Amino acid sequence: MYDVIILGSGPAGLTAGLYAGRANKKTLILGGDRLGGQMAGIAVLENYPGWAGSGSELAEFMKKQAETFGAEIQFVSAKNIAGDAESGFNVLGSDGNKYIGKSIIIATGASPRKLEIEGARELMGKGVSYCATCDGFFYYDKTVVVMGGGNSALNDALYLADIAKNVKIVYRKGAFTRAEVVLRNRVSERENIECLFNTDLAKIAPKADSQTGELVMTTTDGAEIVADGLFVAIGHEANTDYLTEDVVRDNMGRLAPCNLPTGIFVAGDVHADLKMQIATAVGTGCSAAMDAIAYLNQLQ
């Protein structure tokens, strides 16, 4: 039996693993299928104090730091949580094994919200992408569209502007009010980025006569945009589908600590009412681990 089972290997989960391991608690991190979570997809990390490399490099550093203090990491996803604080929590992993812990820290993060328009699902991986750093290199010297108006969308557009010939940002509102000023300024300075405000997409389809896989995106007012690829950045939803229906979640699937059973704690982007930043994820990872450590000490 583990003292602490941490679900997720993003900055929140890895920080929690560091603190729990350093407190001499038997710690298991079930890291899913990707070390670092969303952080791993950041090519240049500018706004995490003390770090100037990529997100994936930071994730690897944090992993080694947690392992130094005894945290065990397995790249398995949680499929179900059963049991309680009295009898122990049973986590069913994607590998078919059951992992038993005295406490649980949920740090499974969030995933990009999927675009629900005609053609979007069918063309996922065939011109429609949710990860610019993963798929951007396919579009060297081509034309791409980024859909969204927050920090993620503008960061994606800036990243793609160094690869693609032209980048068009499609945003349903009249200005990038949710994005940081520094990103808005950088976008406005790039000659190969065009912003299409008050524009929303209604459907997407392959261009009939295209020999190169171009897409035709039809807007809600009937206009057409032709491009080689579409990168979607319209928000995130918490990764909490593995939890039972009785667990209270907000409209983004996120969890409030006050609604969780005794012995279960939450950290990172899955935490309700939290700014989705690496720094805040690290902070809640620290806090959740310290709460779990205090809880375990009371059991002794």
Q: Active-site residues: which are they?
A: 131, 134-135
- Reference 176, options 204, 157, 202; nearest CA is 157
CA separation for the pair 158, 132 (Å, rounded): 10
Evaluate whether 156 touches 233 at the Cβ level (below 8 Å). Answer: yes
| Distance spanning both ends of the chain, measured CA to CA | 15
SS3 294: helix
Q: Is 140 exposed, middle or buried (0-12, 13-18, 19+ CB in 10 A)?
A: exposed
Q: Are strands 78-84 and 88-93 parallel, antiparallel or unpaired?
A: antiparallel
Contacts 24+ apart (CB under 8 A), 59-63: 59/9, 59/10, 59/11, 59/14, 59/35, 60/35, 60/36, 62/11, 62/14, 62/15, 62/18, 63/9, 63/14, 63/35
Element (DSSP H or E) covering residue 282: helix 278-299
The string over 186-220, giving b where at least 16 C-beta atoms fall within 10 Å of a residue's C-beta and e elsewhere, is: bbeeeeebebbeebebeebeebeeeeeebbbbbbe
